[in-house]
Structure 1
């Protein structure tokens, strides 16, 4: 199935969708370092990206009309800074908001479906009207904002058109969902909002994939039956379990049917300790020790035996203070690039271009490959059934 990947970043969403069966005919990304990462892996013949037709540049200058009616899926993660909980919160007044370009791509290509991902901050009450504005534009991409028309006036026109019941033009049925990646087998508590739409004429009925993993299942495996610790050969006197988990375990009457959340210990299993040979990669690419990690109020790292907290891109290339692992003995250290890649479920043979801070920025902005694959497989199966 043919796709177009927008705002590709380091490739997380695109790789996951590739694994789900989508083959991009065009990949667009403006950031030089992200493009260097993709090109490096293309040159190394990494299967997921080796055939990607990459365009490095401003999406505003890319014309997609030649692909009208020929595309199964448009996907991407429009830059999140205007809505990020760590950003300046300029929202709809921020020129970095790339949703208008994502909507233009849908309008020009008329794909069978689209998948867009963005930060949790977009769902904040402060931005609620703009969230609805984005959704309505995706549902009615041909109802374009007029020159000098305020977005709130455009929203009113969209609302009137939407409630009129008239569906003679291009129309999509859109589902939005705020999801926690940990509930889908990603070893990271990463909350993101998805916009998934299917073209109205396909007659698709769709709901977001069911969650497969849970915190309760992890607690059960750590406290109720101890299978988690046995798998990692951790002795009883080395096990650290927080009070909240112990209190929650008492309330569990039977073993959950879901799989346990994956933890940092699960994710980095098999990777050697980077600090013991700090000047080497320890047999794994991008696995170098980065000194200087320390805790301070609000930045305490991620406990080893829980999913990681959300990896953050940081500001001016400096990763956030939460990009650390906290060991049972109270010590902390920064995640290596390879460990961070595993937390984002990238394959071990995928390399990242740039300094440690730059690569961590790419990873902090990425979509977990496994989450993209879960959503992509579900959408792919629906599209195959309509063919």
Structure 2
């Protein structure tokens, strides 16, 4: 039996939840907005699953979960994805900073948040630093790491940017999981499913489908539907012998030509995501094909969640050897202009900020960088004798403010949010 408790926000269809369960966590609560994903969670486990906006305290009361062992979540990805235009704090779906504040209220022993690779890019270096600084204020050590699903037994690349935070007394026991690369190919992973209805070409297809899959793209109600991604991804699937223009209702059967180019079914997509390869990963998805595909495609692969969850559980149970947390922390890309702005409470000119930052940049680069920072932070400007001056006065992201514009945008867009 699990001896650690978990509270999961933005739980989706259960990829992270299943992985954490296999790592030894018992879910005290799972909260999810999408009704189809909620139905899937309830079809698979008898957890307390709440349906609705996770930031709405009428859906659940954070005060009831103070002291939980793990607060985890796969908060929405579009704010940091290229498909979502990388709006960051300006996107009504952005709950990353809110989740950090939730940790301050719930006071878990550990925090686990995962998101797309886009969050690791220079565009969000100041946002990431803001998150780390806030966690430090709340009493947590934290670290980011880019993980690839293929390094943890899953037959696709799927990079995910993962944040782990812990109280210092537990953090010294934490180690990122060792890699255990997937052995095989898309063909070997899917042969059984591709041959299930008697297609004579399944064996030849499997021999040609070498290598691992590109990242499964789940899409959203705003962007995309049930197909396997943009043009570049479709080309990669075609090289694997897969027609990526849509998802099939069933595998090819005996009536299909031997050298037919098949589409994947949702069951095959789930296998690529790490579900169903062995009994521990069996999972049932509810809803129509497109909703099933979105649930599967947007998930954190269960084997990856299990690997990270096991590392967290080991730290909380004090397994292994304690160490200096600096020895396991990855290098963080700092935005030195942001740090210069943050270091002072007065207005500074371009020349003063550049000097304080230690960077050598021209005026055009400075203006571009400041414009990027202004997408996530409130930066006041005044004209002085020495020229225009700047002061950092706030963070634009939603952290739980009752009067934040996120609420109006969320209400307006709710039917399209996923």
- Provide TM-score, normalisation by structure 1: 0.67
What do the CA deviations read for 1:205-233 (whole angstroms, capped 9, x no partner)?
433112222xxxxxxxxxxxxxxxxxxxx
The CA distance in 2 between the partners of 1:32 and 1:203, in whole Å, is 36
Please state whether the residue corresponding to 2:46 is helix, strand or coil. coil
| Partner residue, 2:108 | 111
Within the candidate set 179, 182, 197, 2:150 is matched to: 182
1:263 equivalenced with 2:185 (yes/no): yes
1:98 equivalenced with 2:20 (yes/no): no
Please state whether the residue corresponding to 1:377 is helix, strand or coil. helix
| Partner residue, 2:295 | 362
Aligned residues of 1:186 and 1:343 also touching (Cα < 8 A):
yes
1:305 equivalenced with 2:210 (yes/no): yes
Please state whether the residue corresponding to 2:147 is helix, strand or coil. strand
> What displacement does 1:270 show?
2.2
1:341 equivalenced with 2:336 (yes/no): no
> What displacement does 1:351 show?
1.7
> What displacement does 1:109 show?
1.4
> What displacement does 1:13 show?
0.3
| Partner residue, 1:379 | 312
1:58 equivalenced with 2:53 (yes/no): yes
Aligned residues of 1:175 and 1:207 also touching (Cα < 8 A):
no
The CA distance in 2 between the partners of 1:319 and 1:37, in whole Å, is 21
Aligned residues of 2:173 and 2:318 also touching (Cα < 8 A):
no
| Partner residue, 1:327 | 241
| Partner residue, 2:392 | none
Please state whether the residue corresponding to 1:188 is helix, strand or coil. coil
Within the candidate set 183, 195, 198, 1:273 is matched to: 195
For structure 1, which runs of at least 5 residues remain unmatched after alignment? 42-49, 141-169, 214-259, 278-302
Aligned residues of 2:175 and 2:311 also touching (Cα < 8 A):
no
Distance 1:203 1:273, change over 3 A: closer
The CA distance in 2 between the partners of 1:272 and 1:331, in whole Å, is 12
Please state whether the residue corresponding to 1:192 is helix, strand or coil. strand
> What displacement does 1:349 show?
3.9
The CA distance in 1 between the partners of 2:124 and 2:260, in whole Å, is 39
The CA distance in 1 between the partners of 2:37 and 2:171, in whole Å, is 37
Q: Which structure has the larger Rg over C-alpha atoms?
A: 2
> What displacement does 1:317 show?
2.7
| Partner residue, 1:79 | 76
The CA distance in 2 between the partners of 1:317 and 1:354, in whole Å, is 14
For structure 2, which runs of at least 5 residues remain unmatched after alignment? 200-207, 243-257, 320-418
Aligned residues of 1:172 and 1:197 also touching (Cα < 8 A):
yes
What do the CA deviations read for 1:321-364 (whole angstroms, capped 9, x no partner)?
44756329986432111111111112374221222222111111
Where do 4+ consecutive residues of structure 1 move more than 4 Å? 274-277, 328-331
Please state whether the residue corresponding to 1:86 is helix, strand or coil. coil
| Partner residue, 1:144 | none
The CA distance in 2 between the partners of 1:340 and 1:77, in whole Å, is 19
The CA distance in 1 between the partners of 2:314 and 2:128, in whole Å, is 28
The CA distance in 1 between the partners of 2:197 and 2:121, in whole Å, is 40
Distance 1:105 1:22, change over 3 A: same
The CA distance in 2 between the partners of 1:82 and 1:307, in whole Å, is 27
| Partner residue, 2:163 | 195
The CA distance in 2 between the partners of 1:183 and 1:349, in whole Å, is 21
Aligned residues of 1:319 and 1:361 also touching (Cα < 8 A):
no
The CA distance in 2 between the partners of 1:350 and 1:3, in whole Å, is 20
